[in-house]
């Protein structure tokens, strides 16, 4: 299921992910995509020291995903991918490529020509990076996901090296795509394409359908 959460604090979203990971591992829920937006925060993955974000004027949080430091904030669509991996799916590189592919297909639908830029993760348009991707796994259930710059203020990146790169590499779709649709439209595209690459069904549900406070029968 896909759930739109709107603006959510980072700590609350992280706690929600961990709760959903446990529920998914126990088969109490199905695979879930959370779509949301954060207040300004810099997260530091396993690939970097927290010192990489020294001097950042926002909260800095060390997290479980792979990768280095990145910013989340207003103007992004953040997607957290809670998927139980079975059999041949148990390959994190394959999961990363699948998340990238879902974003790539969305951007193609918006009329641009996105690409990958090995060895870096994420999605690029020409020489510019518009989407960061980082995944973690617990009990063979994925969490974390992607952050797509839609109408982002790129000044946030100038206070550190995002993903170990020069801040000038980062870009936002509103600077590239003419007549950019509303975030809700882009979210629907993302959910549809991610469901396709993971061979899942797409179904939008309300946030209260997560039903975190009630035990399954």
User: Domain limits of the chain?
Assistant: 2-209
Confidence of residue 53 (pLDDT cuts 50, 70, 90): confident
Cα torsion for 141, 144, 148, 151, to the nearest 10°?
Answer: 140
Reported as a pLDDT band with limits 50, 70 and 90, residue 214 is very low
Residue 97 and residue 54 in contact, taking contact as beta carbons nearer than 8 Å: no
Q: Each residue of 95-144: pLDDT tens digit? A: 999 999 999 999 999 999 999 999 999 999 999 999 999 999 999 999 99
Of the residues 60, 85, 148, 163, which is catalytic?
163
Residue 159 burial class via C-beta count within 10 angstroms: exposed 0-12, middle 13-18, buried 19 and up: middle
Q: Which CATH architecture has domain 2-209?
A: 2-Layer Sandwich (3.30)
Residue with tokens 């795509």: 177
Q: Which letter, b or e, does each residue of 173-200 get, where b requires 16 or more Cβ atoms within 10 Å of its Cβ? A: beebbeebeebeebbbbbbebbbebbeb
| More confident site: 204 or 77 | 77
163 in active site: yes
Q: Which residues contact 152 (CB under 8 A, 6 or more apart)?
A: 73, 74, 75, 76, 172, 174
Strands, sheet with 141-149, edge to edge from the N-terminal-most edge strand? 114-117, 120-125, 128-138, 141-149, 76-82, 32-37, 2-7, 204-205
pTM metric for this prediction: 0.92
Give the per-residue pLDDT at 142: 96
Sort residue 182 into left (φ over 0), alpha (ψ -120 to 50) or beta: beta
Query: What tokens were used for 11?
Result: 């700590």
Q: Is a pLDDT exceeding 80 seen at residue 85?
A: yes
């Amino acid at each position: 299921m896909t759930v739109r959460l709107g603006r959510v604090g980072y700590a609350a979203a992280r706690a929600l992910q961990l709760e959903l990971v446990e529920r998914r591992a126990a088969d109490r829920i199905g695979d879930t995509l959370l779509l949301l937006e954060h207040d300004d925060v810099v997260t530091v993955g396993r690939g970097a020291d927290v010192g990489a974000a020294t001097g950042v004027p926002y909260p800095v949080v060390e997290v479980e995903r792979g990768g280095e430091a990145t910013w989340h904030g207003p103007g992004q669509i953040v997607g957290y991918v809670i998927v139980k991996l079975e059999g041949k799916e148990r390959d994190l590189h394959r999961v990363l490529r699948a998340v990238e592919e879902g974003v790539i297909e969305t951007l193609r639908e918006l009329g641009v020509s996105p690409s990958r830029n090995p060895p870096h993760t994420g999605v690029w348009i020409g020489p510019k990076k518009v989407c960061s991707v980082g995944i973690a796994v617990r009990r063979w259930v994925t969490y974390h996901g992607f952050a797509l710059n839609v109408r982002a203020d790129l000044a946030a990146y100038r206070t550190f090296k995002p993903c170990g790169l020069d801040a000038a590499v980062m870009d936002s779709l509103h600077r590239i795509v003419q007549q950019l649709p509303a975030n809700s439209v882009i979210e629907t595209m993302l959910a549809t394409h991610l469901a396709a690459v993971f061979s899942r069904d797409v179904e939008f549900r309300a946030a209260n359908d997560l039903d975190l406070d009630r035990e399954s029968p």
